[in-house]
Amino acid sequence: MTLPPGACDTHTHVFDARFPAGASPYALPAADLATHAAMRERLGTTRAVLVQPAPYGRDPACLLDALARGEGRLRGVMIADETVADATLQAWHEAGIRALRFVEMQGPGGGGRYPGSIGFDSLRLLAPRLRALGWQAHLWASASQLSELLPDLLPLGVPLVLDHLGMPDGPHDPAFDALLPHLRDGGIWVKLTLCRVKRGGAPIAALRPLHDALVAANPDRLLWGSDWPYVRMDPPPDVRAMLDLCLDWLGDAALIRRILVDNPQHLFGFD
């Protein structure tokens, strides 16, 4: 299927060997901006959102370089805690960053929060400055964590964007159901990114009830994201197959345009 003009992949990453990375729980992939652009051309996604990868930590150099060369087609999601300067946030805004990411997911093998991430406590402290900039908070946490924490985060008045379907623990997680009222009320946004959701060996089609429940709850608060280039996944999924699956499940041209074009254009401020 040919995507409508302005279609956006809202969860991607760029890695560039020109920029030094810190300790990483995975081998850095070959995924520089040129490779990213070729992937977008293959999909027909003329816009994309770049999320700061863990190996770069708090160093925005790689992300800012990609945004500068993105010809207005890219937006960024960075990480920072409450010590970040206002001038830094303003410079990032002018460069195309529109959100900060906060994480409560456990790292590979346990032992605490995912390496290099910043937790939800910093979101509470940063909320007034995010509101002033018109930024969002992207949240990577399990559905059970989110179901407990969202009632305290929603009053902050910052748009909350949940990564990876809200990270349910499989296709039948009751904590996922607890997220749906917040979506219906328009309090949260959710990325339709399937690849990180646990399936217990079941085919990916087992996740369709979760996908359909989100669409039924509030399509005006949904986004599509690939999570390309699929770090820590062996073998990685095919990005075109992931997009085609979403398009097939949505099935309606108007709905596809809303989720892949209109919603991200509104949220990320694409011209």
Q: Which residues contact 9 (CB under 8 A, 6 or more apart)?
A: 40, 43, 45, 47, 48, 49, 224, 225, 226, 228
What is the per-residue burial (b if ≥16 Cβ within 10 Å, else e) of 44-65? ebbbbbbbbbbbbbeebebbbb
d(CA 59, CA 52): 9
When computed from its CA atoms, the radius of gyration of the chain, rounded to whole angstroms, is: 17
Residue 185 annotated in active site: no
Helices (H) and strands (E) in the chain, counts: 10, 8
9, 16, 163, 227: which one is catalytic? 227
**Positive or negative torsion for Cα 46, 52, 58, 62:** negative
User: Residue 67, class by beta-carbon neighbours within 10 Å (0-12 exposed, 13-18 middle, 19+ buried)?
Assistant: buried
Other beta carbons within 10 angstroms of residue 206's beta carbon come to: 15
CA-based nearest residue to 133, from 100, 179, 160, 177: 100
Active site residues: 227
